[in-house]
Amino acid sequence: GQQVMQIPQYQHVQEGEDFTTYCNSSTTLSNIQWYKQRPGGHPVFLIQLVKSGEVKKQKRLTFQFGEAKKNSSLHITATQTTDVGTYFCAGPEHGSSNTGKLIFGQGTTLQVKP
């Protein structure tokens, strides 16, 4: 079946260092969403990318959608302790874009040492 893979699974960085998580789908995606889950919290929507090669920025966060619409990345510049959490990418199940069904990656858990 369709898979959405994320790497790395865990990342420990020193505060101020940069961080990147990569998301790869086994199928072409019509769109990709990113969510953040703080420790003990619930997933919170960050952004959606739709166009091939799209790049969007939110302050220190930069999101990219690959040209083939099969991969995406999230880059955080100069991490802060508030960036701690698990970052998930999610894409619609192939052929099920009218059901709302999202396939989530396994997530990348970011730890930031102050």
Partner 1 sequence: DTAVSQTPKYLVTQMGNDKSIKCEQNLGHDTMYWYKQDSKKFLKIMFSYNNKELIINETVPNRFSPKSPDKAHLNLHINSLELGDSAVYFCASSQGQISSYEQYFGPGTRLTVT
Q: Footprint of partner 1 on this chain (CB under 8 A)?
A: 30-31, 33, 37, 41-45, 48, 50, 86, 88, 90, 92-93, 96-102, 104, 106-107, 109
Rounded Cα distance between 89 and 74, Å, is: 9
* C-beta closer to partner 1: residue 19 or 88: 88
Taking the least distance from each CB to partner 1, the nearer of 101 and 113 is 101
If you ran DSSP here, which 8-state letter would residue 105 be given?
Answer: P
Least distance in angstroms from the C-beta of 28 to partner 1: 14
Q: Are 70 and 28 in contact (CB under 8 A)?
A: yes
Closest CA to 25 of 104, 107, 109: 104
